[in-house]
């Protein structure tokens, strides 16, 4: 450092100081200061307390009270507060009250601010992917956030499938982008009650990703038009069936009317014969014959009534089918018009693929994603597809080994019942001891997946990156520990966690690109996200400041003893004024002493 070096400050949260410098670099604290939060400010503003909540998540604190009650309380670390542009931090109770009072509009305003800060990073990744001629690779999933099953204080929590259990809580719908620079970036997270199921969220995931990125593939309107044409042929067949059934119903009605008239006439004849027999002693043979004819007419009448009811049921069923078809046809036409407009407004479409697990793999979702222009990698929603594929194999089937205990056999452009488009399908079998387990893969797109089954197997299982991201969110940032009881604040916590995961990746690249003093520099690129949060954000360091910036020197009793990390000087007017003020405070006595000498 230069000769204007100041006495060092001290922090127990070294990387939080470094991340504060990056936050200032991207304008995060300044953006939070301009939020409109309708709460009173006493010692600390509500904006500062919301920012403190984000810093607590970056620090990986499991509970909100750890802000004030951890071994080294965050709210007592003045160096971290100053690094984030704050005069100090509030007690955790003040943060809790501010979060509890947030409205939905305020929570969404905060999320909007983070999205605006994140947008340049996404745009840079998109530009890089396009320069490299790579396809956008998106992964989507739904993860459960359980709370205590006996709790009654979590608003709109519901019971649903979470891992292997039925638990009370919420579901978070997530989409990630495979990034050439950062490995994985979270694009979106949506908050849902715990009873939300994956198969209802595929379209929402895609639309959220497109909104976040601002780009989309070209819609496959040609396929949709073909499907509408085929659908109209099916509707024409339904209409013909309806006409035939209407005629059959009319005929059944006429036959019933005739049977009723005949039955009525025979009843009258029988009554007259019975009367004449009592009065004049007519022979009983004619009466018996009349009763026999009436009995036959009654049976015929019941048959005609049953036939009429059956014709009515068939007609009603067909009418309902016709109504559903008309509604579906109208929905398809509306989708076509929407997609045509999308294409007209999208002169520079991207190539993109979506990888989803079996929970999203319904034929309806597959069809929609195909028509939206995506290359789709997924598994079938129903196990009946697996059973069907198993019946297509026998002892002579050649299986290709694709993993240590995995084999595959595939069929190209297979028309599965219920799906309007042919798919590449594969049957997997996994050997675990004496147990053999089967699964299936589905694909639609231009990749020749059936020619390289090992590559198909590996590529689909690459979606484990989002599963690893969910695990990171829960184990590193404690996403599964709901820190608040207000639903807008729970929504905000989910967004803060995915933003924190992205933020640290961006900060890592930024810190690695800064000019550093010597070989003792801490190489943050060698530290995983978990180690940065659970270790780096909780180690001690001395902070020396000069006109060249700050120098973090990790203490001898820290995990990074002997290492240093240089940070640039403040770029904000407030930070520059503070630096000049400190410079005058420390250097003025020295200058006066030199003048007196």
**What's the mean pLDDT in 26-42?**
92
What distance in Å separates the CA atoms of residue 181 and residue 505, rounded to the nearest whole number? Answer: 9
- Show the CA angle centred on residue 50, arms to residues 44 and 54, nearest 5°: 130
| pLDDT tens per residue, range 217-227 | 999 999 999 99
Is 423 inside a domain boundary? yes
| pLDDT tens per residue, range 84-128 | 999 999 999 999 999 999 999 999 999 999 999 999 999 999 999
Lowest mean pLDDT among 15-24, 377-386, 516-525: 516-525
- Give the pLDDT band (50/70/90) at residue 5: low
Is 210 inside a domain boundary? no
* Whether residues 340 and 397 fall in one domain: no
* Whether residues 362 and 330 fall in one domain: no
Going from the C-alpha of 282 to that of each of 269, 290, 341, 386, the distances in angstroms are 14, 13, 88, 77
- Give the residue carrying structure tokens 């067909």: 318
Q: Please choose, from the candidates 68, 71, 106, 104, the residue with its C-alpha nearest in 3D space to the C-alpha of residue 89.
A: 68
- H/E element holding 101? none
- In this structure, what token pair is assigned to residue 123? 């745009």
* Whether residues 282 and 384 fall in one domain: no
**What's the mean pLDDT in 154-161?**
94
* Whether residues 231 and 332 fall in one domain: yes
What distance in Å separates the CA atoms of residue 232 and residue 164, rounded to the nearest whole number? Answer: 43
Q: Please choose, from the candidates 464, 516, 483, the residue with its C-alpha nearest in 3D space to the C-alpha of residue 357.
A: 464
State the angle between helix axes of 14-25 and 46-58 in degrees (0 to 180), rounded to the nearest 10.
Answer: 120
* Whether residues 556 and 445 fall in one domain: no
Three-state secondary-structure class, residue 188: strand
Going from the C-alpha of 491 to that of each of 54, 94, 171, 199, 201, the distances in angstroms are 13, 19, 11, 22, 17
* Whether residues 310 and 404 fall in one domain: no
* Domain of residue 41, residue span: 9-101+515-596
- H/E element holding 5? none
What distance in Å separates the CA atoms of residue 392 and residue 66, rounded to the nearest whole number? Answer: 58
Determine what percent of the chain is predicted with pLDDT higher than 90: 80
Is 36 inside a domain boundary? yes
**What's the mean pLDDT in 567-595?**
53
* Whether residues 338 and 253 fall in one domain: yes
**What's the mean pLDDT in 151-178?**
93
State the angle between helix axes of 487-512 and 46-58 in degrees (0 to 180), rounded to the nearest 10.
Answer: 60
Is 125 inside a domain boundary? no
Asked if residue 576 has pLDDT above 50, the reply is no
Evaluate the CA torsion angle 566, 571, 572, 573 in order and state its sign: positive
Evaluate the CA torsion angle 327, 329, 330, 334 in order and state its sign: positive
* Whether residues 226 and 313 fall in one domain: yes
Lowest mean pLDDT among 456-460, 519-523, 530-534: 519-523
State the angle between helix axes of 221-280 and 363-371 in degrees (0 to 180), rounded to the nearest 10.
Answer: 140
Neighbours of 404 (CB within 10 A): 7
| pLDDT tens per residue, range 188-201 | 999 999 999 999 99
Contact 440, 425 (CB under 8 A): yes
- In this structure, what token pair is assigned to residue 583? 């410079």
- Give the pLDDT band (50/70/90) at residue 581: very low
- Give the pLDDT band (50/70/90) at residue 458: very high
| pLDDT tens per residue, range 329-380 | 999 999 999 999 999 999 999 999 999 999 999 999 999 999 999 999 999 9
Lowest mean pLDDT among 150-159, 287-296, 298-307, 469-478: 287-296
Residue 2: the pLDDT is: 45
- Show the CA angle centred on residue 317, arms to residues 316 and 319, nearest 5°: 60
* Whether residues 249 and 334 fall in one domain: yes
Q: 352: phi > 0 → left, psi -120 to 50 → alpha, else beta; which?
A: beta
Mean residue pLDDT across the chain = 90
| pLDDT tens per residue, range 544-566 | 988 888 999 999 999 999 899 99
| Helical ranges in 435-554 per DSSP H | 453-461, 464-475, 487-512, 529-534
What distance in Å separates the CA atoms of residue 520 and residue 372, rounded to the nearest whole number? Answer: 52
Three-state secondary-structure class, residue 11: strand
- In this structure, what token pair is assigned to residue 256? 């019933």
Contact 503, 510 (CB under 8 A): no
Residue 88: the pLDDT is: 95
**Do strands 183-193 and 352-355 pair parallel, antiparallel, or not at all (unpaired)?**
unpaired
Residue 417's φ and ψ, nearest 5 degrees, are -60, 130
- As for how many domains the chain has, the answer is 3
What distance in Å separates the CA atoms of residue 507 and residue 55, rounded to the nearest whole number? Answer: 14
Contact 463, 139 (CB under 8 A): yes
Is 447 inside a domain boundary? yes
Residue 579: the pLDDT is: 42
Q: Which of 462, 492, 507 is the last residue of a domain?
A: 462
**What's the mean pLDDT in 66-73?**
95
- In this structure, what token pair is assigned to residue 18? 């470094």
* Whether residues 425 and 320 fall in one domain: no
Residue 587: the pLDDT is: 43
- Give the pLDDT band (50/70/90) at residue 272: confident
Is 226 inside a domain boundary? yes
Neighbours of 371 (CB within 10 A): 21
Going from the C-alpha of 280 to that of each of 111, 273, 283, the distances in angstroms are 101, 10, 9
Is 409 inside a domain boundary? yes
Is 581 inside a domain boundary? yes
Asked if residue 39 has pLDDT above 60, the reply is yes
Determine what percent of the chain is predicted with pLDDT higher than 70: 93
What distance in Å separates the CA atoms of residue 205 and residue 198, rounded to the nearest whole number? Answer: 10
Contact 356, 377 (CB under 8 A): yes
Residue 411: the pLDDT is: 96
What distance in Å separates the CA atoms of residue 539 and residue 555, rounded to the nearest whole number? Answer: 8
Residue 266: the pLDDT is: 87
Q: DSSP states of 363-427 as a string?
A: HHHHHHHHHTT-EEEE--SSTHHHHHHHHT--TTPPPEE-SSSEEEEEEEEE--TT-SS-EEEEE
Contact 157, 193 (CB under 8 A): yes
* Whether residues 236 and 339 fall in one domain: yes
Residue 434 CB contacts under 8 Å (≥ 6 apart), including other chains: none
* Whether residues 259 and 329 fall in one domain: yes
What distance in Å separates the CA atoms of residue 478 and residue 496, rounded to the nearest whole number? Answer: 11
What distance in Å separates the CA atoms of residue 433 and residue 414, rounded to the nearest whole number? Answer: 32
Q: Please choose, from the candidates 137, 218, 221, the residue with its C-alpha nearest in 3D space to the C-alpha of residue 185.
A: 137
- Give the pLDDT band (50/70/90) at residue 443: very high
């Amino acid at each position: 450092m230069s000769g204007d070096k100041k006495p060092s400050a001290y922090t127990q949260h070294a990387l939080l100081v470094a991340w504060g410098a990056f936050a200032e670099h991207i304008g995060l604290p300044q953006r939070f200061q301009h939020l409109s939060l309708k709460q009173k400010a006493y010692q600390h503003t509500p904006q500062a307390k919301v920012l403190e909540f984000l810093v607590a998540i970056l620090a990986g604190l499991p509970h909100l009270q750890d802000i004030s009650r951890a071994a080294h309380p965050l709210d007592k670390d003045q160096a971290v507060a100053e690094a984030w542009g704050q005069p100090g931090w509030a007690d955790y109770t003040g943060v809790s009250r501010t979060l509890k009072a947030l409205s939905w509009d305020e929570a969404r305003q905060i999320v909007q601010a983070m999205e605006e800060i994140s947008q340049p990073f996404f745009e840079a990744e998109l530009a890089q992917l396009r320069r490299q001629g790579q396809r956008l690779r998106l992964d989507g999933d739904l993860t459960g956030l359980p709370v205590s099953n006996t709790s009654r204080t979590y608003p709109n929590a519901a019971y649903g499938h979470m891992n292997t259990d039925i638990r009370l809580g919420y579901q978070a719908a997530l989409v990630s982008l495979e990034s050439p620079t950062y490995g994985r970036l979270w694009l979106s997270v949506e908050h849902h009650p715990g009873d939300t199921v994956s198969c209802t969220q595929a379209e929402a995931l895609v639309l959220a990703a497109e909104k976040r990125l601002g780009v989309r593939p070209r819609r496959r309107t040609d396929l949709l038009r073909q499907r509408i044409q085929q659908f109209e042929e099916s509707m024409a067949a339904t209409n013909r069936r309806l006409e035939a059934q209407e005629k059959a119903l009319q005929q059944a009605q006429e036959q019933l009317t005739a049977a009723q008239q005949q039955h009525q006439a025979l009843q009258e004849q029988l009554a007259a014969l019975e009367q004449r027999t009592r009065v004049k002693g007519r022979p009983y043979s004619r009466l018996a014959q009349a009763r026999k004819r009436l009995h036959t007419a009654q049976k015929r009448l019941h048959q005609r009534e049953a036939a009429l009811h059956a014709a009515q049921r068939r007609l009603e069923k067909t009418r309902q089918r016709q109504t559903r078809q008309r509604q579906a046809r109208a929905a398809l036409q509306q989708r076509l018009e929407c997609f045509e407009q999308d294409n007209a407004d999208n002169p520079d479409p991207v190539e993109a693929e979506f990888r989803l697990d079996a929970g999203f793999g319904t034929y309806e979702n597959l069809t929609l994603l195909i028509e939206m222009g995506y290359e789709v990698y997924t598994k079938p929603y129903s196990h009946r597809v697996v059973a069907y594929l198993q019946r297509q194999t026998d002892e002579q089937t050649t299986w290709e080994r694709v993993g240590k205990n995995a084999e595959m056999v595939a069929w190209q452009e297979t028309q599965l019942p219920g799906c309007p488009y042919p798919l590449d399908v594969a049957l997997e079998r996994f050997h675990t001891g004496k147990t053999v387990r089967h699964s299936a893969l589905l694909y639609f797109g231009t990749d020749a997946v059936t020619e390289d089954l090992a590559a198909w197997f590996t590529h689909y299982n690459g979606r484990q990156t989002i599963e690893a991201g969910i695990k990171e969110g829960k184990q590193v940032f404690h996403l599964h520990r709901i820190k608040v009881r207000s639903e807008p604040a729970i929504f905000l916590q989910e967004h803060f966690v995915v933003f924190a995961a992205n933020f640290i990746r961006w900060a890592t690249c930024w810190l690695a690109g800064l000019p550093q003093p010597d070989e003792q520099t801490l190489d943050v690129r060698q530290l995983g996200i978990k180690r940065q949060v659970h270790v780096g954000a909780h180690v001690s360091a001395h902070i020396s400041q000069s006109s060249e910036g700050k120098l973090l020197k990790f203490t001898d009793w820290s995990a990074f003893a002997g290492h240093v990390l240089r940070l640039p000087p403040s770029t904000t007017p407030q930070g520059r004024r503070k630096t000049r003020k400190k410079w005058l405070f420390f250097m003025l006595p020295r200058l006066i002493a030199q003048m007196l000498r």
